[in-house]
Structure 1
Amino acid sequence: MQSIFDQGPPPPCPAPFNLAAFVLRQAGKTPDKPALSILRPQGPDDWTYAELERAVRGTGTGLLRAGLQPGQIVLMRLGNTVEFPIAYLGAIAAGLVPVPTSSQLTEPETAKIIAELKPAAILRDPAIACAGHPLQIDTDALETMRALPPCDWAMGDPDRLAYVVYTSGTSGSPRAVAHAHRAIWARQMMVEGWYDLRPGDRLCHAGAFNWTYTLGTGLMDPWAIGATALIPEAGTDIAALPELLRTHRATLFAAAPGVYRRMLRDRDRLELPDLRHGFSAGEKLSRDLHRRWTDLTGTELHEAYGMSECSTFISSSPAHPTRGAALGQPQTGRRVAILGPDGTPVPQGEPGVIAVHKDDPGLMLGYLNAPGEKAARMRGDWFVTGDQGAMAVDGQITYLGRDDDMMNAGGYRVSPVEVEAALSAHPGIDQVGAAEVEIRPDTTIIVAFYTGPAELDEGALRTYVEQNLARYKQPRAFVHLDALPSGANGKLLRRALPAYFPTRSPNPA
């Protein structure tokens, strides 16, 4: 059997359509219900659905009164505050095209983005770095807009441009990924296929307001079904999260693996009586971390796989728990395949590149200002992700790492994820990344870079990997770092690891 998951497409997106109107569709039904609680030591800052909709649509009016026209691009240079999602949805409500960006970008980096996008305006916190632009709307002006009369929802073709996000750039130069309004319609497949999200839930996301993972999973998805979003205020210590989850009776929790790792550090039990389960995304969840969370909390962690170009489309869930090393299966309504080098699906169980069907409503429109790049990633009806995986007979997919991160050891292709998973269970290792390093011309070895309280004995590490990995998969050197290189979204940058390898000559035996 071929590696194809296809149980039929989802229902078509209705037309006319507006992403922001869909997200806030519950406001008319439950106006007084809390939509958002910003968690603070002195007490939460609560927003009802009516207050949230009023602020969003008032912002839409203000942006139009500032002279902006539907269809124009607005660059977002805002920090980790509630202004971020309000401005984002306000722009979309009025028919503008927001471009959320990381607050960590430097002024020269924003100059490149401005030159590429030519935005009509910049929505800016003055404390956030940004290159010059003739129309900058600051946070004071944005806050004032909230009280203006509501704008009309800019309804239209669900396939029209709604927003743009930038890829992390781990595979080259960052790319502007253009998404349609229908992208939010596609996210409904995640509600059952990953979250098991219900209107009565209180979903806490540990990320910042200005991270797209938080924006989607932590805010828009719970709002679209009438649940309550909980977001810790900026600067909250990760060590304080368990108490916040207990105090505010969170039923669901979402974070990146690094957050879970730090929450569990130096603990032998974690009491979260209201929590049903947690979600993990952003990087591969190690089996050891997964096991520790379930042992210490008594709840499950459900992992998801996605990308800037298509959000999340493979995941585990309460209805479809993960099996073995698999990360999950395609969500109902998704069409996913594992392709070989010739662009056709491989037999079940064989490795290949993960691909999503061209008609998936969550798939991007394309790369802005680079229309040929999407076409270059198409293999017939399939958009290739650049990530390796293998599909079992029941549709479960095991993630094998980035195609361009795959290492070569004596002619064998080795997944860095497999090496990292083995080492992550070793005592004294907090985080690990594996990469192929050239130690002299035409000679490469696998190197493990790790963080932890102290440098570990290399002989003990060699003995450990000999016991846990086939010889061709074993790292030949180990490098202790204070921190692993990561992008603005917290993802491990494996391509940057070789630069951290010391000049000493390792023993490649």
Structure 2
Amino acid sequence: MNYHSPLPDISVPGATLTEYVLGEAERFGDAPALVDGVTGETIGYRELARQVAEGAAGLAALGVGEGDVVAVMSHNQPRYAVAVHAVLTAGAAVAPVNPVLTPGEVGGLLTAAKASVLITSAEAAEKAVAAATAAGLRHVIVFGRHPGARSFDDVLASQAPPPRADIDPAAALAILPFSSGTTGKPKGVRLTHRNLVANLAQTRVGWRITNSDVMAAVLPFFHIYGFTIILNSGLLGGATVLTLPRFEPQSYLDALAQHRVTRAYFAPPMVLALAEAPGVERRDLSALRYAFCGAAPLDTGATERAQDRLGCRIRQGYGMTEASPGTHQVFEEEFARTPPGSVGVLSPSTLARLVRPGTDEDVAEGHTGELLVSGPQVMAGYLDDPEATAATITGKWLHTGDLARVDEDGLFWIVDRLKELIKYKGYQVAPAELESVLLGHPSVADVAVIGVAHAEGGEAPKAFVVRDGELDAAELMEWVAARVAPYKKVREVEFVADIPKSPTGKILRRVLKERG
């Protein structure tokens, strides 16, 4: 059966991403659009629109235009938004790059994206110049100064006329993020202007951001969650977007209090940290009204502990890079009625099915199946990979690779990643379920579960555990065994210093599998 959003379909505006997001900038005037939580640098809405226009003219003078790809590699800062929208206004597309990648990894992404220009933070400039030189890029532009790069200030100071890009929002590439690569080689995801505009319009129906909001932006803008759900949703609503370069519990809590943040956006590791961080109660967090978590499954116990301390409900959403990213959300008015752990309902103009994995057969109502979604936010396809595109999109349906169920109230619950299921003697074991059980132990600070070879079962669960106090492996396995069915028991425990994760909190299981 097809599942529908409880809200009516939307009409997707026929605008470019920048036209849609900054169309009301003049109306917001000098109200702060972006504030750097470290340096205090502030850019007002009118000034943001001016800098975007000047940046687009400067980039066009360097030869950037339709059909080009410009890579942007930086931590979160106000100039990131200026650069991205200047590139889009010039008619080019943006390939966001994680600044912690090695020069070789950066070079590989630049080559794969066919980028001609790289815009970088001063902190990553040395790496950027080396990678760009190896990849044969035309220009490197830096926020600041570096001897091997052109300054972004000089680009803004160009006296060139504004570009006249004539692109079709429905077809033109806007953003080219690369999938996280947790289960294989990263793939370039082709998101058009219409994909992103549609997702912003969809999300806005359930999350009504206004110019009275202050949004904490610590999740990276180079990830689609930070880019769409935080940065551009905030600018679209006229909010103040507070940029933070990294998450550290104490400084983050200070920022929430100092800037009177009204909306916080989390990844699971942040929630785990805030559930235990000292000093939460000493901060005045009374302005905080909504907190959202996405990017990976979130333990219900940690959610409840964190929200009790913050004084604000935390609810999950769901999406993926290939869907711009949002497909499910808990609407603001439903926060109190939606239990922690659910990802809510479908966003407007979004359809879903649950099918038996590997088939086109719908599962019976109430049963778990692979989640398929359809809507205007679904990507145009993978970059230069028609086989992967055809395997991921069949007809109008995007295969998420996630197992989900729908309860009697119509709420969706993500059960686990399809490719990460552990098959013990033919039984399917969900790592996320075991991780939730393990996190309930008072001496477990963090955990990840993978499947490893097993003589009798073929494959069996192994837990990588970060201890918080004294803990014995055998005792922990007995503790889990008392709480799960026999085939779900953890058969091996390895204590580690940390769990490898992506910037948005997804467990990098392939790294753990390499450890064995």
**Residue of structure 2 in register with 1:28 after alignment:** 26
**Residue of structure 1 in register with 2:373 after alignment:** 356
* Post-superposition CA distance 1:417-444 (Å, at most 9, x none): 1111111121122221111111459743
Counterparts in 2 of 1:380 and 1:178: CA distance versus 1, 3 Å:
closer
Contact 2:21 2:236 in 1 (8 A): yes
**Residue of structure 2 in register with 1:302 after alignment:** 315
Q: In structure 2, how many angstroms separate the alpha carbons of the residues matched to 1:185 and 1:229?
A: 21
Shift of residue 376 of structure 1? 1.9
Unmatched 5+ stretches in structure 1: 502-509
**Residue of structure 2 in register with 1:186 after alignment:** 199
Q: In structure 1, how many angstroms separate the alpha carbons of the residues matched to 2:271 and 2:157?
A: 39
Give percent identity, aligned residues only. 25
Shift of residue 145 of structure 1? 2.3
Shift of residue 488 of structure 1? 4.8
Which amino acid in 1 is paired with 2:154?
A: T
Q: How does 1:127-206 map to 2 (within 5 A)?
A: 127-129=126-128, 130-132=131-133, 133-139=136-142, 140=145, 141-148=151-158, 151=162, 154=165, 156-159=167-170, 160-182=172-194, 183-193=196-206, 195-206=207-218
Q: TM-score, normalised by structure 2?
A: 0.89
- 1:281 has 2:294 as partner: yes
Counterparts in 2 of 1:57 and 1:441: CA distance versus 1, 3 Å:
farther
Contact 2:422 2:459 in 1 (8 A): no
Shift of residue 79 of structure 1? 4.2
Question: Normalized per residue, which structure has more helix?
Answer: 2
Contact 1:326 1:397 in 2 (8 A): yes
Q: In structure 1, how many angstroms separate the alpha carbons of the residues matched to 2:219 and 2:319?
A: 17
Q: In structure 2, how many angstroms separate the alpha carbons of the residues matched to 1:355 and 1:470?
A: 29
Counterparts in 2 of 1:13 and 1:223: CA distance versus 1, 3 Å:
same
- 1:260 has 2:271 as partner: yes
* Post-superposition CA distance 1:452-496 (Å, at most 9, x none): 334612233123213322222121122111111223544211233
**Residue of structure 2 in register with 1:223 after alignment:** 235
Q: Secondary structure at the match of 1:128?
A: helix
Contact 2:425 2:459 in 1 (8 A): no
Q: How does 1:94-493 map to 2 (within 5 A)?
A: 94-125=90-121, 126-129=125-128, 130-132=131-133, 133-139=136-142, 140=145, 141-148=151-158, 151=162, 154=165, 156-159=167-170, 160-182=172-194, 183-193=196-206, 195-232=207-244, 234=245, 237-267=248-278, 270=281, 271-310=284-323, 311-321=325-335, 322-323=338-339, 325-340=341-356, 341-357=358-374, 360-440=375-455, 443-454=458-469, 456-493=471-508
Q: Secondary structure at the match of 1:28?
A: helix
* Post-superposition CA distance 1:50-92 (Å, at most 9, x none): 1111111111111100012222112223344333222111100
Q: TM-score, normalised by structure 1?
A: 0.90
Shift of residue 243 of structure 1? 1.9
* Post-superposition CA distance 1:197-253 (Å, at most 9, x none): 233111112224444332222211111111111122x35633221121111111111
- 1:89 has 2:85 as partner: yes
Shift of residue 97 of structure 1? 0.9
Unmatched 5+ stretches in structure 2: 146-150
Q: In structure 1, how many angstroms separate the alpha carbons of the residues matched to 2:340 and 2:41?
A: 41
Q: In structure 1, how many angstroms separate the alpha carbons of the residues matched to 2:35 and 2:120?
A: 23
Shift of residue 3 of structure 1? 5.5
Shift of residue 137 of structure 1? 2.6
Contact 2:253 2:280 in 1 (8 A): no
Q: In structure 1, how many angstroms separate the alpha carbons of the residues matched to 2:137 and 2:390?
A: 35
Match of 1:75 among 60, 71, 76: 71
| Number of residue pairs matched by the alignment | 493
Which amino acid in 2 is paired with 1:70?
A: E
Q: In structure 1, how many angstroms separate the alpha carbons of the residues matched to 2:505 and 2:67?
A: 31
**Which consecutive segments of 4 or more residues in structure 1 shift more than 4 A?**
6-9, 439-442
Contact 2:120 2:140 in 1 (8 A): yes
- 1:54 has 2:50 as partner: yes
Match of 1:18 among 16, 19, 23: 16
Q: In structure 2, how many angstroms separate the alpha carbons of the residues matched to 1:395 and 1:443?
A: 36
**Residue of structure 2 in register with 1:506 after alignment:** none
Q: In structure 1, how many angstroms separate the alpha carbons of the residues matched to 2:3 and 2:246?
A: 44
Which amino acid in 2 is paired with 1:138?
A: I
* Post-superposition CA distance 1:36-56 (Å, at most 9, x none): 11113xx73221001111111
Q: Secondary structure at the match of 1:127?
A: helix
